[in-house]
Structure 1
Amino acid sequence: VVGFDEQLKPYVTDPDGKPRKALPKPGAKDDAEHAAAEYKRFSALKKDVRAVAADQISRLETAMVLGRRWPAAEFEQLLAGHPLLWHLVRRLVWRTTAGEAFRCAEDRTYATVEDDGYLLPPDAEVGIAHPLELGAALAEWSAVFADYEILQPFPQLGRPVATLDDAEKAATTLKRFEGLKVPVGKVLGLTQRGWVRGEPQDAGIECWISRPAPGGFSVVVDLDPGIAAGDVTWEPEQALGAIWLDDTGGGHWRRLGSTRPFGDLDPVTASEVLADLEGLTR
């Protein structure tokens, strides 16, 4: 039997259910033609899935962060009913816009955190639950996944969360990270988490990095001395400058006209931004 793990890596199980990383090599008693062909077929499967797995995992994580929702029919057809993506779908907690959380059981039914059956309303919209959206039920869901030994394709239930304090919500700049000095490689690593490098300015220097936020604005972090577009290693260390909200996603010169308070960020986006910036210190 062929299965897929939490990273969509295929494996096979023996008749007794013991997992193996690959098919046994054809033996003397096997059909020489068919056994060799199936061995090659499994090798091709591993190669094909490797090409799409990282993209699909990243796609679903981005959908959770951005609050992407699917109508129930599309969720069941394109995700829960998909022969490959199903193996990722069943390792996540899902949530309707009405606030009902559920998981997909191995028999392809849906279950609540109490392990009761759940019927998905046909008019529901479904998304991947962010831990902030699960509230007090987060610990219960974590216990369920631990009991069933379900490994997740990306951090969901164990994802770091953070909040702005009242003073930060009222402010138009975020002070807690100003002056932090970090290797340029860590700044560039933010692009793997949805951040966008600023447009090169004089002498090809990128003076900021930004993260789009729901609502059409962006979180902008000024960089000093900035990243040299032609050679990112030219300045190996970057100091974080002002952190602010921009309506256009533009550069640092727009900061003087910015009046948006950080309270305009929704809790999930605020948590992701704070976690990303705190991650620069590790």
Structure 2
Amino acid sequence: PSVCIDIALKWPKKHVRFLSAVRSVRAARALLELCDDPIVERDALPGLAREAVVVGLALWPIVLAPSSEAGPSAETRHRAERWLEILRRRGLELELRLAAARYGDEAKAAADVFFRRDPLLHYAPLAETTTFDLPTHLPPLVTHDGRALPREAIARVIEMLRVAGRDGYAGLDALRAAVTPESADAFAWALFLAWERAGMPIDEWPIFATGHLGGEECARGLDERVRVWATNGAGVARMRMGLEALARNGSPEALVRLRNAGQRSRYADTQQQVNELLDEIAASRGLTRDELHERLVPTLGLEAGWPVLDYGSQRFEVRVGEDLEVFLFAEGARLEKLPKPRKADDAALAKAAKERFAGLSADVREVVIGERRHFQRAMRSRRAWSREDFERFVAHPLLGRMVRGLVWVVDERVLRVDEAGGFADADDVAYVPEGRIRLAHPAIDDADALARMQALFLDYRILQPFPQLRREVFRLSAEEAASARYEGLRGAPRRARDLLVLLEGGTYAQVKEHLRTRLGPHEVHVEVSPGLAGSWSEAKQELGRVFAYDAAGQEVPFGTLDRLGVSEVLRDLQVF
């Protein structure tokens, strides 16, 4: 191990994950020197958190060293203190205290003082000025009793945001509790726009301000920028900071957009960053990543009824159809878009109505896209829910529509959810379920019941949010099931874009000239020639053999794999 560490330390940025995983004080100190780089920090943090005692052994001598010319610099000391705070916020204070105790009673007592200090009085050194001009007029920060904070207080808020950077600052928690969410959201977004108009200089704090103070507006706007930054190499670092800011924002809208950013990305490192951010948030709330997501799907205000847009002389009700598309309803007719204002209308009201409609339409579309993916993954994995968890879907103004368009299996019975939120079987007879609830799949469930349910859906004109009842099913022949290599697609031509889309969301990963996916304890590898690395979307590709492996990497017959999963893999490679 010592030799491996020596080699890794020659090129530490290339071996961040290895160095963060080994139990070495020397490796930990080397990494901590590099963690001013946000990409290094992100890659190192999971491993450093797992080895918190070792990291503490590396940090305490720096933090507790007496101030002198021969001692650590103020910058090094601050970096070490910052990492102690980062790990403490991840629930690792006990491990850090154990590390301090190994240096004796004096160090143990000093650690106790360190963890009891006032967080408002300890923060990073602050540069004298920002690298861009702040706006003269910013949206007011308004307290809950309707008072706007004075100019002097605004200057202090900006100082706190600059101090907070990516890590946060305790004073911002108090501020966020004192002002209205709407005013904090508008204030943070105005700061971000000022930074953007200035050419996005080196200052990072305006990005993170959208996380520390932002809400729906910041989440929507930052998500738009993240999409753009992801398309060019120069914007990748900003994209990663934007994802962190969405996580810090913490609103349901922000977390759905964060989750969707990971799902639409074809890059494993972006998917990994998003998953780590969501796992951290979920763990802090005692949930899994999927449970977190399902509890935070935003209602977008629709639980209070259909919103009404007012032009002055005209009013329009916003609705979401069974097709999950937003439309307008006025005077008994459906409208797909807002009409132009009349002379009798109020121009300001009309402008606000158009902005509200555009924002709501975009938010609904974002939720629907994410939930379609989420439920399809749940169907593929046979995920099941308790009745209590399922009722959350039924009661949700958007998910309820999606749930009614899908077919479910409970107690081995094929069921649907009716308009009243109850269950009915394929003969339209009411049924009260007792067991856990999962999505039906034609590869494994009662074909006769599914056929009758399909006829029922046609009679009632129920639209499905994605192919389920008419989903293509692929079954193996006896010969194919006995083999560890599937040859049925060998030589099949494909466009690169049809295969690249499989990388979105992390279901598949790219390994050299292979696509790889997991089916429970097994892995399936698909040969792709010449390979997707650096391939443009219309480039011609050719499928090769498909291999099945067990957890030890040994080839196994396809017949030992989950037949639903095998059908889905073969569908992925043939249905576009």
> TM over 0.5, yes or no?
yes
Work out which of the residue numbers 559, 563, 569 in structure 2 matches 1:267: 563
Further displaced range: 87-96 or 98-107? 98-107
What's the offset of the Cα at 1:129? 0.8
2:391 counterpart letter in structure 1: E
Secondary structure of the 2:457 match is helix
Work out which of the residue numbers 120, 127, 152 in structure 1 matches 2:438: 127
> Which structure carries more relative contact order (alpha carbon 8 Å, separation 6+)?
1
Change (3 A) 1:169 1:54: same
Work out which of the residue numbers 390, 404, 428 in structure 2 matches 1:90: 404
What's the offset of the Cα at 1:137? 1.4
**Higher helix share goes to which structure?**
2
The answer as to whether partners of 1:183 and 1:236 remain within 8 angstroms in 2 is yes
Change (3 A) 1:105 1:38: farther
What's the offset of the Cα at 1:154? 0.5
**Paired position in structure 2 for 1:20:** 335
For residues 3 and 240 of structure 1, what CA distance do their matches in structure 2 show? 44
Change (3 A) 1:150 1:41: same
Matched, 1:43 2:358: yes
Change (3 A) 1:74 1:188: same
For residues 551 and 381 of structure 2, what CA distance do their matches in structure 1 show? 18
For residues 234 and 166 of structure 1, what CA distance do their matches in structure 2 show? 36
Structure 1 residues not aligned, in runs of 5+: 200-205
Further displaced range: 111-120 or 25-34? 25-34
Matched, 1:173 2:485: yes
2:478 counterpart letter in structure 1: D
The answer as to whether partners of 1:217 and 1:246 remain within 8 angstroms in 2 is yes
For residues 90 and 34 of structure 1, what CA distance do their matches in structure 2 show? 36
The answer as to whether partners of 1:26 and 1:39 remain within 8 angstroms in 2 is no
**Paired position in structure 2 for 1:107:** 420
The answer as to whether partners of 1:25 and 1:39 remain within 8 angstroms in 2 is no
Structure 2 residues not aligned, in runs of 5+: 1-316
**Paired position in structure 2 for 1:191:** 503
**Paired position in structure 2 for 1:222:** 527
The answer as to whether partners of 1:182 and 1:238 remain within 8 angstroms in 2 is yes
1:100-139 Cα shifts (integer Å, max 9, x gaps): 2211112323222211222232xx2111111231321122
2:336 counterpart letter in structure 1: K
What's the offset of the Cα at 1:85? 0.9
What's the offset of the Cα at 1:24? 5.6
**Paired position in structure 2 for 1:8:** 324
The answer as to whether partners of 1:195 and 1:209 remain within 8 angstroms in 2 is no
**Paired position in structure 1 for 2:378:** 63
User: What pairs up with 1:242-257 in 2 under 5 angstroms?
Assistant: 242-248=545-551
What's the offset of the Cα at 1:145? 0.8
For residues 112 and 75 of structure 1, what CA distance do their matches in structure 2 show? 17
For residues 12 and 80 of structure 1, what CA distance do their matches in structure 2 show? 23
Work out which of the residue numbers 259, 278, 282 in structure 1 matches 2:574: 278
Secondary structure of the 2:574 match is helix
Secondary structure of the 1:163 match is coil
The answer as to whether partners of 2:405 and 2:465 remain within 8 angstroms in 1 is yes
Work out which of the residue numbers 451, 471, 494 in structure 2 matches 1:139: 451
The answer as to whether partners of 1:225 and 1:235 remain within 8 angstroms in 2 is no
The answer as to whether partners of 2:547 and 2:555 remain within 8 angstroms in 1 is no
Secondary structure of the 2:530 match is strand
Change (3 A) 1:119 1:38: farther
For residues 26 and 131 of structure 1, what CA distance do their matches in structure 2 show? 50
Secondary structure of the 1:240 match is strand
For residues 209 and 19 of structure 1, what CA distance do their matches in structure 2 show? 45
**Paired position in structure 1 for 2:387:** 72
Secondary structure of the 2:469 match is coil
2:454 counterpart letter in structure 1: S
2:461 counterpart letter in structure 1: E
**Paired position in structure 1 for 2:42:** none
What's the offset of the Cα at 1:244? 0.9
2:518 counterpart letter in structure 1: P
What's the offset of the Cα at 1:72? 1.0
- Alignment RMSD, CA only? 2.8
2:400 counterpart letter in structure 1: W
Query: Where does structure 1 differ by over 4 angstroms across 4 or more consecutive aligned residues?
Result: 23-40, 192-195
**Higher strand share goes to which structure?**
1
Work out which of the residue numbers 208, 223, 234 in structure 1 matches 2:514: 208
Further displaced range: 137-146 or 102-111? 102-111
What's the offset of the Cα at 1:162? 1.4
The normalised TM-score by structure 1 is: 0.80
Secondary structure of the 1:226 match is coil
1:72 counterpart letter in structure 2: R
1:92 counterpart letter in structure 2: L
What's the offset of the Cα at 1:170? 0.9
1:45-69 Cα shifts (integer Å, max 9, x gaps): 1122122221111111111111111
Change (3 A) 1:165 1:23: same
What's the offset of the Cα at 1:190? 2.6
